[in-house]
DNA sequence: TGCGGCTATTG
DNA sequence: CACAATAGCCGCAG
């Protein structure tokens, strides 16, 4: 074929675009398929074209530029028309990294990168709604320097020329964000390098692509097994409302039959449960499970109540209505995914994907001809602490498969004490462990403990923090800041703990996501698909015949990620197992032959 | 109807 | 019970 100059990859090459270079992308909403006119690409601030989604896919396969997207929504739209990009620069994801917080729309991201006040971002005047949407000015940037509301709020999709312009704006934004990442400096301890921040920006961006795929593909669930489990725990699926009421009353009866003198109570009301327990001679300040457990042998109603709680939990949150709402007829459990949420930028998921009761994992079963490769990072938080603080002694301890053994030796305490002391340092726990262990911890690992103490101090003072990968953790937006006398001590202490933990949990999340997107990229050749991300655990759905290769690949990806992420010799390891069912993973790893590990 | 409190599940 | 998250129900204010 002599017509290669006509395809998109050829045109991009002609414009000087090479593998990994930024290319602006804008995808109009509202179509499940993408004919000409719904996608625009941009190669400079004033040059771009309308193309088809298929052309983008083909150019991605042959040239693989880094596509600039406005947000995960762009990835979801492309996913919807069957296009899965290899890599991206996601403006919203990088905005969250650079500036913290959750809001990251085009108008705000534009203002932030240009140093304009967030409260000056223009919004549509609600009064104009009656007159219809004003047609967007052909110039996206207003005289005040902000993005015009008409553009930021969707007016860019109104015509092909505006769509192209929007892709051009995206490209410009990405370049400015890239430059800003190279300059950002904040914090005194172990100031992360620009290289790490750029690498983090790229993996956080590509994680948005992964999130769109996780949402679209879902987690394999065997509906028959799920139904059987539910029947065992909460009884058969009720056929009507009366039956549902009867089954519910029967469950309540198993507790209330132990009530003295036929007393009754609404078991869903903590106040009434407390009164019920008092009538049985048990006086407790609250009715949490860990507190009631001490009374399990005092009165039979306590054990019955705790049992009821477990069943009630499944019935209300993970019952038949959950299956109906979240599991498709294709046996895939689907939820909404976010790439960086909360205090430290962890991934989050809805539909119970991140907090499914362990017993229900028995229903998470690989499809015919497939298996799961399950990989679990071991002792990730103390290892991340060693890496980001650069503490030589703690880095040396990461050489051990069980990091707490050398730490215990160093402190002159037993392993459980060493573990509690380490976790206390990272989370800010102040009760329940000997102060002597903390003193020795400071002496043995002064750099690591100093890193945590510094985060704690900065957070207490209301100063923003930045993680190793460059994520801004906002401490200044909370109320009560800067009013030393007007703030309770508990509040300040709590904020210190928050900051102390955020720099560790956040850095761990960044490492994890870099690992996840590496597995996503390398695994494609094996038809291995990441189907679940769980903070320190990856579940990869893979054809049976490729299982062995996938196990090695997941381990290699961790080694590659660790090398790229941290310059020092910190050792990270993962327990990697091949299983048919998610629930099989833990026992195999604990009691079976040594799992594949990687350093 | 919205929201804080309580409770449970997970990493 | 130390950190993070999602989610349901109750009780109360408006």
| A369 backbone φψ class: left, alpha, beta (φ>0; ψ -120 to 50) | left
Q: Which residue is nearest to nucleotide B7 (CA to C1')?
A: A288
C-alpha–C-alpha distance, residues A390 and A150, integer Å: 48
A352, closest nucleotide (Cα–C1') = C6
pLDDT above 80 for A129: no
Reported as a pLDDT band with limits 50, 70 and 90, residue A490 is confident
Helices A380-389 and A489-523 meet at what angle, rounded to 10? 100
- Is strand C within 7 Å of residue A424 (CB)? yes
- List the A29 CA – B11 C1' distance (angstroms): 35
Find out if CATH 2.60.40.420 is the number for domain A335-379+510-579: no
Instruction: List the one residue out of A25, A96, A31 whose CA is nearest residue A57.
Output: A25
Query: If one looks up domain A223-326 in CATH, what number appears?
Result: 1.20.1060
* H or E segment to which residue A24 belongs: strand A22-27
pLDDT above 50 for A591: no
- The beta-carbon contacts of A270-277 under 8 Å, at least 24 apart in sequence, are A273/A305, A276/A301, A277/A301, A277/A302, A277/A305
Nucleotides of C under 7 A from a protein CB: 1-11
**Cβ A219 vs Cβ A332: under 8 Å:** yes
CATH of A383-508, one of 3.40.50.300, 2.60.120.260, 1.10.150.20, 3.40.50.720: 1.10.150.20
- Is strand C within 7 Å of residue A62 (CB)? no
Reported as a pLDDT band with limits 50, 70 and 90, residue A250 is very high
Instruction: List the one residue out of A426, A487, A491 whose CA is nearest residue A455.
Output: A426
In DSSP terms, A6 is beta-bridged to none
C-alpha–C-alpha distance, residues A252 and A70, integer Å: 51
| A16 backbone φψ class: left, alpha, beta (φ>0; ψ -120 to 50) | left
- Is strand C within 7 Å of residue A497 (CB)? yes
C-alpha–C-alpha distance, residues A177 and A39, integer Å: 23
Looking at CATH, the fold of the domain delimited by A8-216 is given as: Nucleotidyltransferase; domain 5 (3.30.420)
User: Coil, strand, or helix at residue A360?
Assistant: helix
A537, closest nucleotide (Cα–C1') = B11
Structure tokens at A507: 């850095």
Among the residue ranges A79-88, A123-132, A393-402, A413-422, the one predicted with the least confidence is A123-132
- Residues in reach of strand B, judged by a CB distance below 7 angstroms, are A 270, 286-290, 292, 306, 309-310, 313, 354-358, 505, 534-537
- List the A337 CA – C12 C1' distance (angstroms): 33
Helix H, strand E, coil C: the string for A485-497 is: HHCCHHHHHHHHH
Instruction: List the one residue out of A160, A196, A208 whose CA is nearest residue A51.
Output: A160
User: Coil, strand, or helix at residue A439?
Assistant: helix
Reported as a pLDDT band with limits 50, 70 and 90, residue A68 is very high
- Is strand C within 7 Å of residue A248 (CB)? no
Helices A404-411 and A415-427 meet at what angle, rounded to 10? 100
C-alpha–C-alpha distance, residues A139 and A167, integer Å: 13
Q: Kindly report, residue by residue over A377-435, the tens digit of the pLDDT.
A: 999 999 999 999 999 999 999 999 999 999 999 999 999 999 999 999 999 887 766 67
Q: Hey, which bits of A179-316 come out as E strands?
A: 219-220
Q: Which residue is nearest to nucleotide B9 (CA to C1')?
A: A355
- List the A579 CA – C7 C1' distance (angstroms): 29
User: Coil, strand, or helix at residue A41?
Assistant: strand
- List the A422 CA – B2 C1' distance (angstroms): 41
The values of phi and psi at residue A395, to 5°, are -60, -40
Residue given tokens 């955020």 in the structure block: A502
Question: In Å, how far are A263, A289, A291 from A260, measured between CA atoms?
Answer: 6, 21, 21
Reported as a pLDDT band with limits 50, 70 and 90, residue A301 is very high
For residue A47, the number of C-alpha atoms closer than 13 Å in the C-beta half-sphere is 9
Reported as a pLDDT band with limits 50, 70 and 90, residue A237 is very high
- List the A340 CA – C4 C1' distance (angstroms): 12
Nucleotides of B under 7 A from a protein CB: 6-11
In DSSP terms, A543 is beta-bridged to A370
Helix H, strand E, coil C: the string for A476-522 is: CCCCCCCCHHHCCHHHHHHHHHHHHHHHHHHHHHHHHHHHHHHHHHH
A497, closest nucleotide (Cα–C1') = C3
Domain ranges of chain A: 8-216, 223-326, 335-379+510-579, 383-508
Q: Kindly report, residue by residue over A551-569, the tens digit of the pLDDT.
A: 999 999 999 999 999 988 9
A321, closest nucleotide (Cα–C1') = C8
Region A102-129: what's the mean pLDDT? 87
A360, closest nucleotide (Cα–C1') = B9
**Cβ A568 vs Cβ A390: under 8 Å:** yes
**Cβ A554 vs Cβ A595: under 8 Å:** no
Query: How confident is the prediction for chain A on average, in pLDDT?
Result: 90
First-last CA distance in chain A: 47
Q: Which residue is nearest to nucleotide B11 (CA to C1')?
A: A535
Compute, in degrees rounded to 10, the torsion defined by CA atoms A33, A523, A585, A552. 180
Q: Strand order in A66-69's β-sheet?
A: A47-51, A39-44, A22-27, A66-69, A88-90
Q: Kindly report, residue by residue over A172-218, the tens digit of the pLDDT.
A: 999 999 999 987 555 444 455 889 999 999 999 999 999 999 999 99
């Amino acid at each position: 074929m002599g017509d290669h100059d006509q395809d998109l990859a050829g045109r991009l090459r002609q414009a000087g675009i090479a593998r990994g270079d930024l290319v602006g992308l804008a995808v109009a909403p509202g179509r499940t398929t993408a004919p000409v006119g719904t996608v625009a690409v941009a190669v400079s601030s004033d040059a771009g074209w309308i193309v088809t989604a298929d052309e983008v896919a083909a150019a991605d396969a042959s040239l693989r530029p880094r596509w600039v997207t406005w947000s995960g929504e762009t990835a979801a739209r492309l996913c919807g028309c069957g296009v899965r990009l290899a890599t991206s620069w996601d403006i919203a994801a990088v905005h969250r990294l650079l500036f913290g917080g959750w809001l990251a729309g085009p108008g705000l991201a534009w203002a932030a990168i240009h140093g304009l006040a967030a409260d000056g971002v223009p919004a549509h005047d609600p009064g104009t709604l009656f007159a219809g949407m004003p047609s967007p000015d052909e110039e996206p940037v207003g005289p005040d320097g902000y993005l015009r509301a008409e553009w930021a709020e969707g007016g860019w999709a109104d015509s092909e020329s505006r769509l192209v312009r929007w892709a051009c704006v995206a490209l410009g934004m990405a370049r400015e964000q890239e430059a800003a990442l190279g300059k950002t400096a904040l914090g005194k301890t172990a100031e992360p390098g620009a290289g790490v921040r750029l690498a983090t920006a790229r993996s956080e961006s590509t994680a948005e692509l992964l999130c769109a795929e996780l949402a679209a593909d879902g987690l394999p669930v065997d509906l028959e097994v799920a139904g059987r489990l539910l029947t065992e725990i909460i009884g058969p699926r009720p056929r009507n409302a009366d039956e549902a009421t009867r089954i519910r009353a029967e469950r309540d009866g198993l507790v209330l039959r132990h009530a003295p003198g036929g007393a009754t109570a609404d078991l869903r009301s903590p106040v009434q449960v407390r009164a019920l327990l008092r009538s049985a001679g048990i006086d407790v300040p609250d009715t949490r499970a860990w507190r009631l457990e001490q009374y399990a042998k005092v009165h039979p109603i306590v054990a019955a109540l705790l049992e009821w709680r477990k069943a009630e939990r499944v019935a209300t949150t993970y019952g038949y209505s959950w299956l109906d709402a979240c599991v498709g007829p294709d046996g895939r459990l689907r939820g909404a995914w976010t790439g960086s949420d909360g205090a430290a930028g962890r991934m989050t998921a809805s539909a119970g994907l991140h907090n499914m009761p362990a017993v229900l994992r028995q229903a998470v079963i690989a499809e015919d001809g497939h298996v799961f490769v399950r990989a679990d990072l071991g002792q990730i938080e103390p290892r991340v602490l060693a890496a980001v603080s650069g503490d030589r002694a703690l880095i040396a301890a990461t050489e051990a498969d069980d990091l707490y053994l050398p730490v215990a030796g160093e402190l002159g305490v037993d392993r459980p004490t060493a573990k509690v002391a380490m976790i206390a340092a990272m989370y800010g726990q102040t009760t329940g462990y000997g102060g002597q262990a903390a003193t020795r911890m400071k002496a043995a690992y002064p750099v690591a403990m100093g890193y945590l103490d510094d985060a704690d101090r900065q957070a207490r003072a209301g100063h923003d923090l930045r993680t190793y990968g460059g994520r801004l953790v906002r401490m200044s937006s909370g109320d009560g800041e800067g009013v030393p006398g007007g703030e309770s001590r508990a509040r300040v202490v709590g904020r210190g703990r928050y900051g102390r933990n955020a720099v560790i949990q956040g850095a761990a999340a960044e490492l994890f996501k870099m690992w996840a997107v590496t597995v996503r990229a390398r695994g494609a050749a094996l038809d291995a698909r990441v189907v679940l991300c769980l903070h320190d655990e990856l579940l990869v759905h893979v054809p049976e015949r490729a299982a062995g290769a996938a196990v090695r690949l997941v381990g290699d990806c961790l080694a590659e990620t660790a090398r790229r992420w941290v310059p020092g010799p910190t050792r990270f390891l993962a327990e990697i197992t091949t299983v048919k069912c998610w629930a099989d993973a833990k026992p195999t790893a604990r009691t079976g032959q040594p799992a594949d590990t990687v350093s």
